[in-house]
Amino acid sequence: MANGLADDLATTVLLATDRPILLAPAMNHVMWAHPATEANLETLLARGIRTVGPAAGELAEGETGMGRMSEPLDIIAAIEAHFALPGPLKGRRALVTSGPTYEPIDPVRYFANRSSGKQGHAIAAALAALGAETILVTGPTHEADPADVAVTRIETAEEMLAACRAALPADVAVCAAAVADWRIAERRNQKLKKKVGEVPILRLTENPDILAALSSAGKQRPRLVVGFAAETEAVIANATAKRRKKGCDWIVANDVSADVMGGEENLVHVIDANGSDTWPRLPKHEVARRLAQRIADHFTPTR
C-alpha cells in the first residue's frame, strides 16, 4: 500500500478509492517492529491514513507480542471515533464490571473466582462502540483494554465497589464481574508459615454485593442496572428470583451447565420485569453487541 502496488483486490481498492482509510494492521511482532514496516507506516500516516491497533497478545502463529489484530468491536469503535458517526448511546455514561476479584490471604496468596473477563470486556467495548462514555472496572484478566473505554483496575471486591461508586453517576451499569462472595476476615501482613502437620484455619467474612449496592444507590442509582446470573439448573426461575433479590432491572442469565466459563460462546436468557427472552448460543462478542443494542433501544425506544 505504501508503495502503490495494486496487484490484488484489496490493494487495488485502496489505490482506487478517494474515501478515508482506516487500517487495522495485524502481523508477527518482529515484522511489526521491523524498520521496513515502520517506514511504510510512517509514509501512510503522513498521507493521512489512520490506524487502529495492533494490540498486544497471542498471535496467530502461536507467539505473543504486539501485532494482534484489534478486536472487531474495537475496530467499529475506532471507525465511529475517527469518522465521527454519532452512536445511539452518545451522551450516555455506562459503567461495566468485569473479571474476577482477588481476595488476599497474606502478601503472597489469594483466592479468586474463575472468570476470563471476556464477556464483561466485550460489553464495555460494545457500549463504547455505540457511543457511550464507558468506564470499565475490572479485576485481573488477560483481556486487552477495549478501545475508547476508561479502565480502572482493582483486585478486591471492596476496591471494585469503591471504584464503581467513584464512577457514578451513570445512565447504565452492567455487572458482569465474578465477585468473590467472601474475603478473609483477618488478612495477614506476613506470609503464613508452613508448619508440618498443621493447617491454618481461615475465617471468612462477607463481601459487599456490588450489583445490589448499585441497584439501591438512591439518587445515584443508574437508570438501568443489569446483572448476570450463572446458573446450572432452573435457569430462568433462579435468575428471575435473583433479579428481585438484587433489585436490578435486567438479569442476563447464562446457562453454565454447558462449557461457557472462559469459552468463546454464551447461551443467555435476558430477564426483565415483563419476562424472559432466550437468545441462541452466540459468541460472547455477539451477546455483548446485542445487549448494548438492547440498552440503546431502552433509552431510545422510538428508534
Catalytically annotated residues: 113
Closest contact distance (angstroms) between CB of 283 and ligand C5P is 20
Residue (144 or 213) nearer to ligand C5P, CB:
213
User: In whole angstroms, what is the distance from residue 99 CA to residue 18 CA?
Assistant: 43
Show Cβ contacts of residue 269 under 8 Å, excluding neighbours closer than 6 positions.
235, 236, 239, 252, 253, 255, 276, 277, 278, 279
For residue 32, which of 13, 15, 8, 56 has the smallest C-alpha distance?
56
Closest contact distance (angstroms) between CB of 88 and ligand C5P is 24
Residue (69 or 173) nearer to ligand C5P, CB:
173
Closest contact distance (angstroms) between CB of 225 and ligand C5P is 9
What does the block give as the cell for 67? 501485532
Burial class (CB in 10 A: 0-12, 13-18, 19+), 141: middle
Phi, psi dihedral angles at 115 (to 5 degrees): -160, 130
Show Cβ contacts of residue 194 under 8 Å, excluding neighbours closer than 6 positions.
none
Residues at the contact surface with ligand C5P, assessed by CB under 6 A: 97, 157, 175-177, 179, 181, 207, 209-211, 227-229, 242
Q: Is the peptide bond before 100 cis (omega within 30 degrees of 0)?
A: no
Residue (75 or 137) nearer to ligand C5P, CB:
137
Sign (positive or negative) of CA dihedral 239, 240, 241, 245? positive
Residue (70 or 207) nearer to ligand C5P, CB:
207
Q: Is the peptide bond before 280 cis (omega within 30 degrees of 0)?
A: no
Residue (211 or 287) nearer to ligand C5P, CB:
211
Closest contact distance (angstroms) between CB of 42 and ligand C5P is 44
Show Cβ contacts of residue 170 under 8 Å, excluding neighbours closer than 6 positions.
93, 94, 95, 135, 222
For residue 222, which of 121, 133, 283 has the smallest C-alpha distance?
133
Closest contact distance (angstroms) between CB of 207 and ligand C5P is 5
CA distances for 121 relative to 53, 115, 118, 148, 260, angstroms: 17, 11, 5, 12, 15
Closest contact distance (angstroms) between CB of 206 and ligand C5P is 8
For residue 298, which of 164, 162, 174, 138 has the smallest C-alpha distance?
174
User: In whole angstroms, what is the distance from residue 29 CA to residue 63 CA?
Assistant: 8
Closest contact distance (angstroms) between CB of 161 and ligand C5P is 8
